[in-house]
Amino acid sequence: MGSVTPGTAEAAAGLCQTAGMARDFTQVGVIGLGTMGAGIVEVFARNGIDVIAVEVSDEAVEKGRGVLAHSTDRAVARGKLSADDQLALHARVRFSAEMTDLAQCQLVIEAVPEQLALKKAIFARLDTIVGDDAILATNTSSLPVTEIAVATVNPKRVVGMHFFNPAPVLQFVEVIKTVITSDEVFEEVKALAERLGKKPVIVGDKAGFIANALLFGYLNHAVSMYESKYATREDIDAAMKLGCGYPMGPLALMDLIGLDTAYEILDTMYKQGRDRLHAPSPIIKQMVSAGMRGRKSGRGFYTYAEPGASQVVPDALTPEPAGQAQAVTQPVRSVGVVGSGTMAVGIVQVLAQAGLDVVFVARSDAKVAAVSAKVAQGLEKAVQRGRMTEQERDVALSLVTGTSQLDDLAGVDLVVEAVVEDLTVKRALFENLDEICRPGAILATTTSSLPVVECAAATSRPGDVVGLHFFNPAQVMRLVEVVHTVATADDVVATAVALCEQIGKQAVTCGDRAGFIVNALLFPYLNDAIKMLEANYSTADDIDTAMKTGCGLPMGPFELLDAVGLDVSLAIERELYLEFRERGYAPAPLLEHLVRAGYLGRKTGRGFRTHA
């Protein structure tokens, strides 16, 4: 058993619960009643625990009371809480502007702004108010819990209990154990989190813990991408929502979190880890200084109807509605597709369903037949799911022609290359297409990581070459990255964007840079997760849980890596590192070792996990 500060036998008994006899918390305190603090109050009160809710003044108390009332009113309106349960919940909460009212609490959680000096002062005072057996917890998302703990006489009873916003909804809680925290205190807090219906993940005292350490590096990178004018805010956000299934785009999420909060978290992480990728992008501080703090101020990366509102309203940066742009486009009635893999099959099906004549080229008659069969199967599945009629299926099939001869592409308006990710193969193909296709025909590559300009340089018409990066499966994923090189003509880009709209896809435009938008943001985040595992900071299961339940991502990083393929992931990370020469982008050695061992993920039955 861990030792306790000298004191009464009762105090020792309180902190040293025996295994299987976790304390029955009946009264807790919460300091700070902003969105996060009020949410924590609601979590405890929903679970039958009495709460003393404390703010700095009577005015702040009333504001916090209003936050709690608004949240529970919304839960009642949505059928998530009955009116009787709402009344019972509010009856369990007592509001106060005096910290001394926390004297009888068995646990106090601090949820004030992310200012280390403020938190330390609160804990020093709490230490003189609560009983010797009370546990003190901080909801900090990035500050060192150890520094907060040593502001008390008994730092062994201090722990991190990091809830995620909105606390009543999100199941994830990071329980942070410092080198000083008593084992018994830690176990009691973990058990309490489970009693609250949360999924606690146990971590050490490192800036950002799991979720924020991974999330904010990604957000900071997205801000840098926007700041450099590589892509618009709308395209960056759409790319990550549609390409990765994220619930929000990174810039919209920054506005929701608050740019001032995001800056403090990034600054704290950078000062502790000295990782340049966590150094806050300069524009964040500039926007905070200008009062553009996100939703709460009514203006951040986007403009909102009013402070605190979620409704985005048009501003000077809002693009023109689709169809109103005056860009010159070329007519596209027939499209060629080169390739016979999964991506090529999907692109053929999508184009035919949109009413375009499609000529696809495969290497042999057998592969031509196989592609035709897969396209027919895909269209039949669409009929069975009610997404198209039998007549529409038949029309789409009639528009598809297969061949093994590249020369049959001579008359098409646009060609999409979807062959193996090998630059030598692609350059040779573009040389052939340049000779075969009519003047003015657009030549597109669906590469996910190779330089589009290398394909363009293999032709005598670099202005007609563009990237059209479809996402797999093309029949389902709505996103297409339209990639322009330094040579691509404006009308070619406009035509590619118009084609995406015609076939029911959402185009995002960007320059010819490794990873484009999605992979350039996604794979450094995945690489950071591998480094976290490699450093034994947490397990693959806990990291996946953190990102799924704490950040709402559809898959955890290790689930996703195994699904993508570790060899594919390594190839993309190497391209990013070679392009940007950023030390933080260097592939984690663990990934290199797994690939070398032949552990490539689901396709080989073993990657970061073993698959049946």
Q: CA 353: distance to chain centroid?
A: 31
Q: Give the model's confidence band at 326: pLDDT under 50 very low, under 70 low, under 90 confident, else very high.
A: low
Strand ranges (E), 208-309 = 303-304
pLDDT value of residue 519 = 95
Note the pLDDT of residue 4: 37
Active site residues: 141, 162, 174, 212
One-letter amino acid of 563? A
Per-residue pLDDT, 12: 39
18 pLDDT band, cuts 50/70/90, is: very low
Tokens representing 303 are: 């403009």
- Residue 347 has which token pair? 């692109």
pLDDT of residue 7 exceeding 70, the answer is: no
Averaged pLDDT, 581-599 = 94
Rg over alpha carbons for the chain, rounded to the nearest Å, is 28
Mind listing the pLDDT tens digit for each residue in 118-152?
Answer: 999 999 999 999 999 999 999 998 889 999 999 99
600 pLDDT more than 70: yes
Q: Which SS3 state, helix, strand or coil, does residue 466 take?
A: strand
Taking residue 368's Cβ as centre, other Cβ atoms within 10 Å add up to 19
β-pair partners for 54 = 31, 96
| Confidence band for 17, pLDDT divided at 50, 70 and 90 | very low
Per the listing, tokens 């105090």 go with 11
Task: Name the pLDDT band for 356 (thresholds 50, 70, 90).
Answer: very high
Report the chain's mean pLDDT, rounded to a whole number: 92
Q: What is the pLDDT of residue 273?
A: 78
pLDDT grade for 605, boundaries at 50, 70 and 90? very high
Task: Give the helix/strand (H/E) hosting 234.
Answer: helix 233-244
CA distance 324 to 187: 60
Structure tokens at 79: 């059928």
> What average pLDDT score do residues 17-41 get?
83
- CB proximity list for 371: less than 8 A, separation 6 or greater: 340, 344, 345, 348, 360, 362, 402
| Integer angstrom CA distances of residue 157 from 26, 238, 274 | 18, 45, 30
- What would the pLDDT profile of 503-526 be if each residue is shown by its tens digit? 999 999 999 999 999 999 999 999
Mapping DSSP onto H, E and C, the string for 84-151 reads: HHHHHHHHCEEEECCHHHHCCCCEEEECCCCCHHHHHHHHHHHHHHCCCCCEEEECCCCCCHHHHHCC
pLDDT-based confidence at residue 221 (cuts at 50, 70, 90): very high
Sign of CA dihedral 150, 154, 160, 163: negative
Range 66-94 average pLDDT: 94
User: Domains along the chain?
Assistant: 24-204 (3.40.50.720), 211-312 (1.10.1040.10), 334-511 (3.40.50.720), 518-546+553-604 (1.10.1040.10)
Share above pLDDT 90 across residues of the chain, in percent, rounded to a whole number: 84
Taking 50 as the threshold, does the pLDDT of residue 160 lie above it? Answer: yes
Beta carbons of 289 and 263 less than 8 angstroms apart: no
Q: Is the pLDDT of residue 322 over 60?
A: no
Residue 110 has pLDDT above 70, yes or no: yes
The answer on pLDDT for 15 being more than 70 is no
520, 496, 522, 518: which is closest to 507 by C-alpha?
496
Please determine, for residue 5, whether its predicted confidence score (pLDDT) is greater than 50.
no
Over 60: is that where the pLDDT of 330 sits? Answer: yes
Query: What pLDDT, on the 0 to 100 scale, is given for residue 278?
Result: 87
Residue 315 has pLDDT above 60, yes or no: yes
Element (H, E) at 548: none
Number of Cα atoms under 13 Å in the Cβ half of residue 142:
24
pLDDT of 501 over the 90 cut:
yes
According to the model, what pLDDT value does residue 183 have?
A: 93
pLDDT at residue 13 in the model: 40
Helix (H) or strand (E) holding 57: none
